[in-house]
Structure 1
Amino acid sequence: MNRTTPPIPSSLHEQASHWVVRLRSPDCSASERRAFQDWLALSPQHRQSYQKAEAIWREFSGADVQTDPRLMAARDGLRRAQIERRRARRSLRLSIAASLLIAAIGMPLAWDWINTDCYSTLKGQRQHIALRDGSTIELNSNSQVRVRYGWRGREAVLDRGEALFSVAHDETKPFDVVAGHGKIHDIGTRFNVCMLNNAATVSVLEGEVAVATERRPDPQTLLAGQQIRYDTRGLASAPTRFDATTVAAWRDGVLVFKKTALAEVLAQLSRYHDIELRVADPQLQNLKVSGDFPTDDLNLALNAIGAALPIKAVRKNERLIEFER
């Protein structure tokens, strides 16, 4: 007697979930497995869809689909489909899981992240954030971070500004930080991430991290005392050494500069005050500035810069100060 092979669904995510289920079925034939390999080779999108479906299947593995609260929402919308597809008792669990798998792939945001918290600061503000997993975030002035929790991991998205992360390590739920066009993967550590002038700088204070960018998807490991910088194109610099006391000084209301370009110094100061600081002459932008400047006293900082360099600060209006010769 010829066995009937279940038809392959039409949409890509349904096809992927179909193959995940069929390959785990005891009656999956050799010809079906060859057909799967042909399907997988059709495009990178096919491989990505299958990998995603397989990851979600692993999440379901061992779970009681009748009582697991994570499946309740999907079950309500699929009750009719489950009834229509009911087969013998021995395959009931498999068919329900397959239905939920299709739903999960079709609703990635709902399944990947079950909760998101958003934190932000205004100019001149700082915030200490204690996360539910024991990790902490020190959020600098004019910054925003979104923290997302899922069953398979934790992720913080730094939308703007600067933050220092102290991560409570959990091998079962890795902690990643997305900043601009890169991602930082925690390996048990404390690290600072600063987004400024369309670039991100990652500085490791303790432990180590792995940094991947759009141009360099293979993670690059950074150890304590190392930092890396990448731009909006995902181009990353080589790791360099840095002074930890300089990078983290903002937590004490101080900015420390050591032979830093004037343009960058002004950009840093602008993050703390509701006024634009600008260099009128492009030739002055790379003048080097060194010193410790309070974040809450703009006049003191500008006077110190004017005294150290052959330039002066000129107030153009209430919202703009320019440096000129």
Structure 2
Amino acid sequence: MAAPFVLGEKEEAEAIVSKDEGETCHQREALEWMIRLQERPDDAPLHDRFRLWRETPAHDAAWSQLDHVSALIRQLPSSGGVARVPAVLDRRWRRAGRTILVPFALAASLTALFLGRDLLPIPAAATTTRTGEVRTMKLADGSRVILAPRSAMTFDGARHARLLRGSAYFQVRHDDDHPFRVVAGDAIATDLGTAFEVAMEGATTHIAVREGAVGASCAGGWKDPLPLRPGQTEDLDCASGTRRRGEMPPSRVAAWATGRLVMIDRPLAAAIAALRPWHKGWLIARGPGMARHVTGVYDLRHSDRALAAMRQAHGLSITRITPWITIIHAD
């Protein structure tokens, strides 16, 4: 466990994290725009939306960087290595009567540029995990923390954890005089004698209780008057002031710790998002069908099998541009 930060060091590190995550988000959007424009070169409304998106300085910078890398690679001597997207895997592209040709070098370089930074250690983190890696930590007070893949955490003292990315499962040794707190963004989960999961999902913090009780609150002062009990969940967005409670069998809380993904009436997009930390490469989820709710149990340690099962059950279209980039579309 790392020693607490000196005054000012933590704030500076968090500012670096925030800046990097913002840049990575814009870069991902730029790459998705490149794919859309390549798919639908004659779609005038799409081009209008792209021009509107690019008017934002941060978006324009991300696009310029992407275009610069593409231009450099196009200047390299051709080695004849071209990856043809299998049209049979994507009905929409097959109907269009064409396949998309993507140079291996371009795909590899773009993946390294836009995906690789997500896998680097966060400056403020005491502990990070790689793709597919689950790490268990025993704390000095006897509590135990299980960190999910592609996650990052630090500690602000012996009983204060700060989740910087991803998910973690906490089995806490209760102490009335020194409550164990987990901060994730602006959300705070406070141990009331419990085992619980905290996950960062964009602007939302997901809290789920397996044993005991957890208090949910926000750094700005809001506090849920009723603690979460076993099997209860809460999706908390402190920035917008919204929260949504749900329920699930307590035994399925943090099922990822045993390599299982359990989805109970959750959006398909959430299932794809849960697969990403276990998948070596970039999963791009697209299409209106990503909003529909699904239920199922999938093997996280074999993400390709999980994707194949989702495709069979929900009619997904899966296109692998390279071994590193996979596009999943749901009509």
Query: In which range does the TM-score fall when normalised by the shorter chain?
Result: 0.5 to 0.7
Instruction: Tell me the SS of whatever aligns to 1:323.
Output: strand
Match of 2:133 among 125, 129, 137: 125
Q: Which has the larger radius of gyration?
A: 1
TM-score, with length taken from structure 2: 0.58
Contact 2:230 2:250 in 1 (8 A): no
Corresponding residue for 1:57?
A: none
- The answer to whether the 8 Å contact 1:255/1:295 transfers is yes
Provide the residue aligned with 2:305 in structure 1. 300
Task: In structure 2, give the amino acid aligned to 1:246.
Answer: R
TM-score under structure 1 length normalisation: 0.59
Other structure's SS at 2:269 match: helix
Which residue is 1:211 aligned to? Answer: 216
Residue in structure 1 matched with residue 160 of structure 2 by the alignment: 155
The question of whether the paired residues in 1 share the 8 Å contact of 2:125 and 2:164 is answered with no
Residues 238 and 297 of structure 1: CA distance in aligned 2, closer, same or farther (over 3 Å): closer
User: Is residue 321 of structure 1 aligned with residue 295 of structure 2?
Assistant: no
Paired residue secondary structure (1:308):
helix
CA distance in 1, matches of 2:223, 2:203: 22
Task: Report deviation, 1:216.
Answer: 5.3
Look up the match of 2:289.
284
Alpha-carbon distance, 1:149 to partner: 2.1
Q: 2:262 aligns with which of 244, 249, 256?
A: 256
Which residue does 2:191 correspond to in 1?
Answer: 186
Q: Is residue 229 of structure 2 the alignment partner of residue 201 of structure 1?
A: no
By how many angstroms is 1:197 displaced? 2.9
Once the two structures are TM-superposed, the CA of residue 292 in structure 1 deviates from its matched residue by: 1.4
* Superposed CA offset, 1:235-273 (max 9, x none): 242433222233221111010112322211111101111
Q: Percent identity?
A: 27
| Alpha-carbon distance in 2 for matches of 1:279, 1:107 | 41
Counterpart contact for 1:123–1:142, Cα < 8 Å? yes
- Distance in structure 1 (CA, Å) of the matches to 2:313 and 2:245: 31
Unmatched runs of 5 consecutive residues or more in structure 2? 1-5, 11-123
2:291 aligned counterpart, secondary structure: coil
* Cα distance between partner residues in 2 of 1:238 and 1:295: 26
Deviation at 1:181, TM superposition (A): 1.3
CA drift at 1:323? 2.2
One-letter amino acid matched to 2:316: I
Q: 2 CA distance for matches of 1:117 and 1:308?
A: 38
1:1-325 to 2 correspondences below 5 Å: 118-149=126-157, 154-214=159-219, 217-220=222-225, 221-231=227-237, 233=239, 235-281=241-287, 283-324=288-329
Paired AA for residue 274 in structure 2: Q
Aligned residues: 211
Report the AA paired with residue 243 of structure 2: S
Q: Deviations over 1:20-56 (max 9, x none)?
A: xxxxxxxxxxxxxxxxxxxxxxxxxxxxxxxxxxxxx
The residue type paired with residue 122 of structure 1 is: R
SS class of match (1:256): strand
Match of 1:217, SS state, is: coil
